[in-house]
């Protein structure tokens, strides 16, 4: 290759795409919510790299990123039309959009017709949604061509669909949990499965039947067991915290014995050698967090219930830093606990309502409240420290993505990038 060309190419890289990145599923790498990059602490609208409108104008689906592309699902609240969208990750320019007519149906007030976060790999992006009659699961190439489409059968839940797929080796895996209790007269209980499909063809590789009780929205993650084998970890009301062989779907173990009395919405995480999960209800007062020792002889190590000293999240996920677990309660509290001891180290009233889950960059936690304020909190066990509050200008129930030295933020009707410009406090 010409030496002069190499010099010119090297000089151009910082101006184009030197800091490529991937945030390939809900809450990023293995569902931890942890990313890296030069993300500003304080920023305003003037610091946005881009602020683009999403078709349909509503949705809780969080963005995912692969290289120079951002993918997100959006919807029309009136007619339930679904939109699969791709934008350039640096400029915000729309690359393509696919539109699918659908059927309006009942949703929870905090849900939407676009609540599932896509998963993305080096070739395709995978999206899911449902009506009562059908669960739709589709794959698209990065250029917007539909690679395959599946109808996974009927859907039972008045809360709406929100299952987010994950990638494992040559498969895409979906936690298809459905409602089987507290149904109206004449309604048929839903059936729940963990399901795996070939990424290229959509061919089903395995399905494992789960116990159906409440519809649950937890997305699984992959951990390595003591003997070095990969295991898929997830949680639900019916199965507690459980492990499957991700290659076959065969059950390895579960810690159940009615571990969760209520719905699991947040996804599990591993902290300090323990697996943490949470459950709750719209009343919030009975929420609690549990931590279990994984394995066939697993047991409950901690159960931390709502009290004057602690508020357990229902919808927002937990976020960890070392052996510390940080919690953002749906209705106005932040807290920190020690994963190994279960000790509550601090609690602080925020007054903000959260539906999105927190993410972390170094020692900073970012989370968007329901009015569209980005809270930046120090990940420190010593005390609660609020570093900044940054307004997005519109309500939000989504979780940020971190890639390319940027924070990608989704409000009801906008996709925003911040970090590419010099921002206050950066």
The residues facing 192 across adjacent strands are 210
Quick count: other Cβ atoms within 10 Å of Cβ 144? 14
Where does 149-284 have alpha helices with state H? none
Residue 74 · residue 83 · CB < 8 Å:
yes
| Beta-strand relationship, 124-130 and 135-141 | antiparallel
The domains of the chain, with CATH numbers, are 18-418 (2.130.10.10)
Cα–chain center distance at 181: 25
- What are the phi and psi torsion angles at 390 (to 5°)? -125, 125
Residue 175 · residue 26 · CB < 8 Å:
no
Q: What is the pTM of this model?
A: 0.93
CA gap 389, 408 in Å, rounded: 16
CA gap 382, 389 in Å, rounded: 21
- Tens-digit pLDDT string for the chain (426 aa): 444 333 333 333 333 333 347 999 999 999 999 999 999 999 999 999 999 999 999 999 999 999 999 999 999 999 999 999 999 999 999 999 999 999 999 898 888 999 999 999 999 999 999 999 999 999 999 999 999 999 999 999 989 999 999 999 999 999 999 999 988 888 899 999 999 999 999 999 999 999 999 999 999 999 999 999 999 999 999 999 999 999 999 999 999 989 999 999 999 999 999 999 999 998 888 999 999 999 999 999 999 999 999 999 999 999 999 999 999 999 999 999 999 999 999 999 999 999 999 999 999 999 999 999 999 999 999 999 999 999 999 999 999 999 999 999 999 999 999 999 856 545
Residue 408 · residue 70 · CB < 8 Å:
yes
Question: In this structure, what token pair is assigned to residue 86?
Answer: 């791709």
Three-class DSSP category at 323: coil
- DSSP tally for the chain: helices H, then strands E: 1, 35
């Amino acid at each position: 290759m010409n030496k002069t060309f190499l010099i010119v190419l090297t000089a151009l890289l910082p101006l184009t795409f030197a800091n490529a990145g991937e945030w390939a599923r809900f809450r990023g790498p293995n569902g931890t919510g942890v990313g890296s990059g030069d993300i500003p602490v304080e920023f305003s609208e003037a610091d946005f790299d881009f602020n683009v409108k999403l078709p349909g104008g509503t949705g809780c689906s969080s963005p995912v990123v692969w290289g120079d592309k951002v993918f997100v699902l959006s919807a029309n609240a009136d007619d339930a039309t679904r939109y699969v969208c791709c934008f350039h990750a640096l400029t915000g320019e729309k690359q393509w959009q696919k539109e699918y007519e659908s059927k309006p149906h009942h949703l929870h007030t905090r849900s939407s017709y676009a609540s599932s976060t896509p998963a993305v790999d080096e070739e395709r992006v995978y999206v899911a949604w449902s009506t009562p009659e059908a669960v739709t699961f589709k794959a698209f190439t990065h250029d917007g061509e539909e690679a395959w489409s599946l109808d996974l059968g009927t859907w039972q839940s008045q809360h709406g669909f929100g299952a987010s797929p994950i990638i494992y080796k040559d498969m895409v895996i979906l936690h298809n949990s459905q409602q089987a209790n507290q149904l109206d007269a004449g309604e048929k209980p839903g059936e729940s499965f963990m399901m795996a499909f070939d990424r290229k063809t959509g061919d089903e590789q395995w399905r494992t039947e789960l116990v159906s009780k409440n519809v649950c929205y937890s997305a699984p993650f992959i951990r390595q067991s003591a003997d070095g084998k990969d295991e898929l970890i997830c949680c639900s009301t019916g199965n507690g915290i459980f492990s499957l062989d991700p290659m076959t779907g065969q059950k390895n173990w579960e810690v159940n014995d009615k571990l969760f009395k209520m719905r699991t919405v947040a996804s599990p995480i591993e902290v300090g050698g323990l697996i943490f999960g949470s459950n709750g209800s719209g009343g919030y007062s009975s929420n609690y967090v549990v931590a279990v020792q994984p394995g066939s002889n697993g047991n409950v190590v901690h159960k931390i219930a709502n009290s004057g000293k602690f508020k357990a999240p229902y919808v927002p996920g937990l976020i960890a830093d070392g052996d510390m677990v940080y919690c953002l309660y749906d209705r106005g509290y932040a807290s920190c606990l020690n994963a190994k001891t279960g000790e509550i180290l601090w609690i602080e009233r925020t007054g903000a309502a959260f539906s999105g889950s927190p993410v972390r960059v170094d020692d900073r936690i970012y989370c968007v409240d329901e009015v569209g304020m980005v809270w930046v909190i120090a990940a420190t066990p010593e005390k609660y420290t609020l570093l900044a509050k940054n307004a997005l200008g519109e309500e939000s129930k989504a979780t940020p993505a971190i890639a390319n030295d940027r924070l990608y933020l989704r409000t009801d009707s906008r996709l925003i990038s911040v970090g590419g410009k010099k921002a206050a406090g950066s």
